[in-house]
Amino acid sequence: MNANDDSKHLFSDSPGETSDAPVDYLIPPPPSQASMAQWYPRNASIDIAGLSIAAGMLYVGERLPGKDGTPDPCLIDPRKPVELKADYTQDHHVHTDWPNYSDASPRARGAYLRWLADGRSSPEAHISNIWLFFYGLERRVFIDAVADRSISAEFSQISKELHRLLKHYGASSADFTRQCKALLNFLTFYSVPARLYEQTIPEFPLEAGFAMYLRVAIGQAIADKRPIPAELAWAWIRCDPDVKLGTAALRHPDVFRTLFLAQYRRAFGDGLSIAEGRRRLGYTYFPASHALRDEIGISLDLGDITDVSVLSEPVMALQKMIDACAPELDAHQRLQQDMLSSAPAGNTLALHASLPDAGDETLAPSCDTASFSIELLIVLAQAEGVWRDDKLALLDPHIAAWRHLAPARQQRLKARIRVLSCEPVPMASLQRKIAALDQAVRDGVANNLLAMAQAGASLMPDEVTILGRLFALLGCDAALLDQQVHAMFGAPVIALEQPASSGIKLDLARIAELQQDSARVATLLGDIFTDDHAPAPAMATPALEEGALPGLDAAHSHFVRKLLARAAWSRGELLAMAGQLDIMLDGALERINEASLDAFDMPCTEGDDPIEINPEIHERISA
């Protein structure tokens, strides 16, 4: 029918007029079908409202229904009006807690598009923009990937994007952080990795709770009838809210870790074995997008593994290990507190007396060759930047083998080296005090260092280099070191003309006796860590690198350079700065002030809050 033909009408011109001719009815044309939205993959470019959006991972089109038939909130419909001058740092979704692009105002849409065009990285962006984008990632995982399994290949890209969003916006919204981590868990265990208990365990913050990763790893070990490795047990006790760590463990995590791992391995060998439990581990994700939301959530099959979070016996066994560490950990804490509050730097004899079970033992002559050798090793390792707290456990067997030391003395020596690990003696201070020793004492220390080094099957080149530096510190002839190293491992020995003062002879059968030197030697070595009023022999002041103090490692030297940038800092600012360098603020300031006192006879910082920088130190270091 011709719609413009005036002879054809839907109704007669007058009520009384009739016709036998067939009547044509005008039927309106069907509405044009809205096109289905398209997913733009990562790094795909698209122009919307005159803006170029290059990062992709978006749904753009006219139609994208959710489960309830309404438009998915993530859909960017290019037909909708936008206001591109909108500020994406402001909240334009004023009437709802859950933003929706289709229902949003032109200003809210414009703000979202501008955030996307700017690379979706601006830290000032309002969280509503991040939610709109997040909804699209949820849809890709829970609708598209369900319909087409091949899309699961994109999950690694989506995980990277989620980690990136957490980095930029996690601090601005606890709800977003929780939802983002939940989706990351789902993606991690969508295809459950096998034998996670054999892999390197990621770091989990204490506030994260009992991480799903750890629960899966432990459940897999139980299912495979394998013991729980020590490192996995360490991660477990740090994250499980049912485990009670105590204040000392939280304040001194490195020392506690060393003690716990040693205690755990002594008690369980290869690890704690756990029997299967009745409750199976599962995971359910509840989407944030209303287009996907329902009351039962989306469940994930993790395999037939035990949910260890409901088992009480393993937690009791681990708690026993933690409690067994408490006496030594408390001793360490008391020792460190005493050192920081009352004792001069290096006064270990007074500090050792405060440890438990000291009895009436006189400590004056007891700092012997072996104990000083270990302390010297730690200080040099710290100066070289190769010291880690987990090496403490390697020294305990040496101390336990020194039968001439009473058990209480051994305990105090272990505590001493743990304090030294946290608050080392500055190298410059150590050098001055070594200079006060006669050559016979230094030769005895060098002999003992060689004996400890020979405990291994071989000496690596870098170990020989470290021994060479120790010999140089002690003022011993490096040529004698070469001779003794060759003698250790059967190489030809070249006879050397040795000075009469040298007493370096390696006698492996007498290693245990090396610690039982004369009272004179022990007393002199005790003086290494005892402050006195006699002035130390003058030493040449080492050249300082710009903005540095002698005797500090790389992290603390970097901290000093940052400190010198201003005349004063708030305590909060320095806590954040120290956290970035993975050092403890109070301990760092103590070390820096000790180094400053050694170098310039004055501290670097003063006050508690604000913390002021000594202007004279600033001038001397910057000169």
Answer yes or no: is pLDDT of 618 > 60. yes
Strands of 568-569's sheet in order across: 568-569, 611-613, 605-606
pLDDT at 16: 44
Beta carbons within 10 angstroms of residue 119's beta carbon: 10
pLDDT at 365: 33
User: Quick one: average pLDDT of 480-505?
Assistant: 50
* Per-residue pLDDT band at 485 (split at 50, 70, 90): low
Closest residue by Cα to residue 288 from 508, 468, 66, 498: 66
Closest residue by Cα to residue 115 from 128, 106, 102: 128
Strand partners, 298: 285
Please tell me the least confidently modeled range out of 77-86, 137-146, 216-225, 571-580. Answer: 571-580
Per-residue pLDDT reduced to its tens digit, 257-271: 988 999 999 999 999
* Of 269 and 530, more confident: 269
Per-residue pLDDT reduced to its tens digit, 54-63: 889 999 999 9
For 287, residues 6+ apart whose C-beta sits below 8 A from its C-beta are 138, 142, 293, 297, 298
Answer yes or no: is pLDDT of 445 > 70. yes
Q: Which amino acid is at 334?
A: R
Compute CA distances 452 → 127, 398, 455, 519, whole Å.
Answer: 59, 8, 5, 22
What six digits make up the tokens of 579?
């956290």
Q: Quick check: 59 and 76 in contact, CB under 8 A?
A: yes
